[in-house]
Chains A and B, each alone.
Chain A
């Protein structure tokens, strides 16, 4: 049975996925969830494929109403989640009954949260992805009254002990701090900056309000390129750190233009791009040098953690009958209760 929900207060929210990986060869940025770990975790907790369409809610309060029974999971920046007025845990599956309102309020400490619905939500795709692309005007930005359809509805899971949470899957949550340490590897053009490249590691940078999904602009002491020769446009990776002006450092994120003619000083690691996705204007950024093998190892450790989560979720959900036959799973009260 399919399910549905209606957006009541969109705040700043879109339907996205992990990105348009076929985009860059056509000159389109990859885009997709800026905090990939949180997005994957939300989908895993909702027993979806990692890359399933889900909601990315940025900074502002959000509210939706379930038209059918749903199972959801909310991850990302710390916030207050209520379902039908009851406060519910983040980073755990949450059962929602038809007619109940799901509210996400007070996103603090970070910037972006992710809301996945079991059975995912339907959204138009371009080159195999629903990720919004603001430059070409593609994607599903949510507004009041938007109705989203999910491929499945999940009967309410009843908790016989009122004060205990339904699930305790125990994923280690990322840390959220107003002073973020960001790992970077040397960029392919680091030598063009001579000794000034070291400034990157000796400076505390401040996130500017002009930052967005295309890139973060950081104020602070700027490394300076030692030559002024024109660079032919070339592909730049997500995470590239450039110094395009004398005002700010630019750290490209998933919405970045695929090609540019600025030298790449350093590249933020995959793990730290998730951290940057949560940096708010005014937050402090400190860069730390690492190597590609170390960055790869850290990324894989995070993926392993998500894989462990997936196997715990699938065990529990199989016991509850979620994702299999539609039914009305009910926890059996312990003897004597």
Chain B
């Protein structure tokens, strides 16, 4: 994660009696992301009684706490203290690792590929080419189960979510929505458009950490053919370097 000598200003919103939402709302999305992730790291390292932890995403941070021990008012003060600290010392830098993810696109592996192509007014091949064209920064770990949430491919239009979310999306599903991209580490319901599937095992509940990547790491998709799918079965997603 890049150092953040100057965190962006934030807004803090009440989110019930046990959480606050902190939003970095500058025009610089990179700085917003860096701010909320540095702040999450600071909150975790500093630690405060009754603060369970923080969930940073793109421009926002959910700080969860025990209202029996602390309060929204105290946690707000703690967050502001963290921001002042970051202004002075910045956040530690980390060298990103790179992950390469084989994907079978379309067909039973990616039931929404054609729908996405139609919506974008592109061919299926062009969608795949755009999806595999570059490395994505993993912005955060999301639902379900530590999904790597990434800035999406350079499609012309944002991808709408499904009107009727699926009750079950398989592990390894490679999906897009809005301007985001993701891999589903575990079977779960989902409203994103599934364009492909990776045969790799992303989540290993028997080991800590459960997923091999952290926010800030890089991930790149590459196309494989359906007949290659079985060759990868049982293999875990691992950093290339």
A residues contacting B by CB (< 8 A) are: 21-22, 24-30, 126-127, 133, 135-138, 185-188, 230, 232-240, 244-245, 256-261, 264, 267-270, 292, 295-296, 299-300, 303
Q: Which 3 A-B pairs have the closest CB atoms?
A: A257-B143, A235-B62, A267-B16
Enumerate chain A residues within 8 angstroms of B57, measured Cβ to Cβ: 232-235, 259
B52 pairs with A24, CB closer than 8 A: yes
Task: Convert B9-20 into 0s and 1s, putting 1 for each residue whose CB lies closer than 8 angstroms to a CB of A.
Answer: 000011111110
B186 pairs with A136, CB closer than 8 A: yes
B146 pairs with A28, CB closer than 8 A: yes
Given contacts A27-B141, A136-B203, A257-B144, contact A237 B16 (CB under 8 A): yes
Give complex CA distance A185, B144 in Å: 26
Q: Is B3 an interface residue (CB 8 A)?
A: no
> Pick the contact of B143 from A27, A126, A296, A303 — CB < 8 Å?
A27
Enumerate chain B residues within 8 angstroms of A235, measured Cβ to Cβ: 19, 21, 54-57, 60-62
Give complex CA distance A245, B21 in Å: 24
> Pick the contact of B210 from A21, A136, A240, A267 — CB < 8 Å?
A136
Identify 30 residue pairs between A and B in the complex whose beta-carbon atoms are under 8 Å apart, listed by A's number: A24-B52, A28-B146, A30-B64, A126-B205, A126-B208, A135-B144, A135-B145, A135-B186, A135-B187, A186-B14, A233-B149, A234-B58, A235-B19, A237-B62, A238-B19, A257-B143, A257-B144, A259-B55, A259-B140, A259-B142, A259-B149, A267-B15, A267-B16, A269-B17, A292-B72, A295-B16, A295-B67, A299-B67, A300-B68, A303-B68
Give complex CA distance A337, B62 in Å: 62
> Pick the contact of A232 from B17, B19, B141, B180 — CB < 8 Å?
B180
A27 pairs with B16, CB closer than 8 A: no
A27 pairs with B62, CB closer than 8 A: no
Q: Is B38 an interface residue (CB 8 A)?
A: no
A27 pairs with B147, CB closer than 8 A: yes
Give complex CA distance A264, B57 in Å: 16
A299 pairs with B17, CB closer than 8 A: yes
Given contacts A261-B177, A268-B16, contact A26 B67 (CB under 8 A): no
Q: Is B179 an interface residue (CB 8 A)?
A: yes
Q: Is B40 an interface residue (CB 8 A)?
A: yes
A232 pairs with B142, CB closer than 8 A: no
Give complex CA distance A267, B17 in Å: 8
CB distance from B56 to the nearest CB of A (A): 8
Enumerate chain A residues within 8 angstroms of B210, measured Cβ to Cβ: 26, 28, 136
Q: Is B161 an interface residue (CB 8 A)?
A: yes
> Pick the contact of A27 from B15, B71, B144, B187 — CB < 8 Å?
B144
B residues contacting A by CB (< 8 A) are: 13-19, 21, 40, 44, 52-62, 64, 67-68, 71-72, 140-147, 149, 158, 161, 163-165, 177-180, 185-188, 191, 203, 205, 208-211
Enumerate chain B residues within 8 angstroms of A25, measured Cβ to Cβ: 40, 44, 53-55, 141
Enumerate chain B residues within 8 angstroms of A236, measured Cβ to Cβ: 62
Kindly list 18 other residue pairs between chains A and B, CB separation below 8 angstroms, not including A186-B14, A188-B13, A188-B15. A21-B53, A22-B52, A24-B53, A27-B141, A135-B144, A185-B14, A185-B17, A188-B21, A232-B59, A232-B180, A234-B57, A237-B64, A245-B163, A257-B144, A267-B19, A270-B16, A295-B16, A296-B17
* B149 and chain A: residue at smallest CB distance: A233
Enumerate chain A residues within 8 angstroms of B163, measured Cβ to Cβ: 245
B149 pairs with A24, CB closer than 8 A: no
Enumerate chain A residues within 8 angstroms of B211, measured Cβ to Cβ: 26-27
B62 pairs with A292, CB closer than 8 A: no
Enumerate chain A residues within 8 angstroms of B15, measured Cβ to Cβ: 187-188, 237, 240, 264, 267
